[in-house]
């Protein structure tokens, strides 16, 4: 808890930790942050209505850099956005209340960010661990996250075609750029971090440190993003909404570079770019791509002038394809 009367100057890093029913792990998570050797930090723990002893565990930490912000009801507010509204640091780091950071993580990332102003977010490699803190070799999370480095257009191409491969609790970002991008989208439960990465990739460069400084805890039956039918369905729907970012600024302006090898020379107007992106999503064919394509093209077809432009560029066959593709969508049929 913050000590009474202790006033902090603007910290270098604001560390944001949402917590929910993690009384067994939250002190370890926070301690791994405090033990980074970077004293110029603030740690904002937003407890999202825990029903266990999480708040008491955090409150027992006697360190003026740590503050606990309890919420009465789970999911009434978005905890990371609430913490961002309170954050004062030049940089913002994200940690989960059941994960751990290895020593040296924060220093390595700050060195990257301080030395290269083009980098807006720095990530690290990730090690999967079990409830006991021991490394896992065969969990669903092993191999989930990439340590490859790409240009911003290449990241956006990967995001559109393959999805997310970056780990939120490994990220340290420039707070001003996160604010410019618009924080987290509150309606997304599983992919709000991915939604943020898409917008940030249009605003600057990413850097991934290969070393596995981040330890992600895999708890059977408790990880929201873990493999389950419900999680897959949520991910498909949310992925389709994330793809809509490619139709708006700042991502839309990047499309000529992102798809430079695929875009036909005949595609020049904004409407034509949007329709081409829809067609590309149809080719990729995953449930999320198909949901995105259906909604995006429907918006264009509902506008008479845009509908006419589409017919001039792509032919009326585009509308027939739209009708056929909609008939192929798996949305459940009443019996």
Residue by residue, pLDDT tens for the chain (335 residues) are 444 345 457 899 999 999 999 999 999 999 999 999 999 999 999 999 999 999 999 999 999 999 999 999 999 999 999 999 999 999 999 999 999 999 999 999 999 999 999 999 999 999 999 999 999 999 989 999 999 999 999 999 999 999 999 999 999 999 999 999 999 999 999 999 999 999 999 999 999 999 999 999 998 766 666 678 899 999 999 999 999 999 999 999 999 999 999 998 878 899 999 999 999 999 999 999 999 999 999 999 999 999 999 999 889 999 999 999 999 997 654 43
pLDDT at site 265: 81
Q: State CA 275 to chain mean position distance.
A: 26
Whether the CA torsion 279, 259, 153, 301 is positive or negative: it is negative
Residue ranges and CATH numbers for the domains of the chain are: 13-222 (3.90.550.10), 262-328 (no CATH)
Question: Could you tell me how far CA 259 lies from the centroid of its own chain?
Answer: 22
Q: Which stretches within the chain are classed as H helix?
A: 26-34, 54-59, 79-86, 105-115, 152-162, 175-181, 192-201, 229-243, 255-258, 270-284, 287-301, 304-314, 317-328
Per-residue tokens: 109: 């990332």
Rounded Cα distance, 24 and 214, in Å? 18
Q: Are 101 and 32 in contact (CB under 8 A)?
A: yes
Nearest to 256 by CA among 282, 277, 239, 283: 277
In total, the chain counts a number of residues equal to 335
What is the b/e burial string over 273-291, where b = at least 16 CB atoms within 10 angstroms of the residue's CB? bbbbbbebbbeeeebbbbb
* Nearest-angstrom CA–CA distance, 324 and 213: 48
pLDDT value of residue 222: 62
């Amino acid at each position: 808890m913050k000590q009474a009367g202790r006033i902090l100057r603007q910290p270098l890093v604001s560390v944001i930790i949402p917590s929910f029913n993690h009384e067994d792990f939250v002190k370890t998570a926070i301690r791994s942050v405090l033990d980074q050797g970077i004293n110029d930090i603030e740690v904002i723990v937003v407890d999202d209505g825990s029903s266990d002893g999480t708040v008491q565990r955090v409150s027992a930490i006697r360190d003026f850099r740590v503050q606990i912000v309890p919420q009465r009801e789970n999911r009434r507010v978005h905890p990371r956005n609430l913490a961002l509204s309170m954050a004062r640091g030049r940089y913002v780091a994200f940690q989960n209340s059941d994960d751990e950071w290895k020593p040296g993580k924060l220093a390595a990332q700050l060195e990257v960010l301080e030395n290269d102003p083009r980098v807006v977010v720095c990530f690290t490699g990730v090690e999967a661990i079990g409830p006991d803190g021991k490394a896992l070799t065969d969990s669903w999370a092993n191999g989930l996250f990439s340590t490859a480095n790409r240009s911003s257009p290449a990241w956006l191409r990967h995001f559109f075609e393959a999805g997310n491969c970056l780990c939120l609790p490994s990220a340290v970002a420039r707070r001003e750029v996160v604010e410019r991008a618009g924080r987290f989208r509150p309606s997304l439960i599983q992919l709000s971090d991915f939604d943020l990465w898409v917008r940030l990739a249009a605003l600057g460069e990413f850097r991934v440190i290969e070393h596995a400084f981040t330890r992600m805890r895999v708890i059977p039956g408790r990880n929201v993003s873990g493999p389950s039918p419900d999680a897959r369905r949520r991910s498909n729907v949310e992925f389709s909404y994330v793809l809509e970012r490619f139709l708006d600024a700042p991502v839309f302006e990047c499309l000529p570079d992102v798809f430079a090898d695929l875009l036909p020379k005949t595609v020049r107007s904004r409407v034509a770019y949007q329709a081409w992106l829809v067609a590309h999503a149809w080719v990729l064919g995953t449930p999320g791509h198909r949901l995105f394509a259906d909604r995006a093209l429907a918006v264009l077809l509902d506008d008479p002038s845009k509908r006419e432009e589409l017919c001039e560029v792509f032919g009326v066959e585009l509308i027939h394809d739209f009708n056929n593709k909609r008939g192929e969508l798996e949305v459940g049929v009443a019996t």
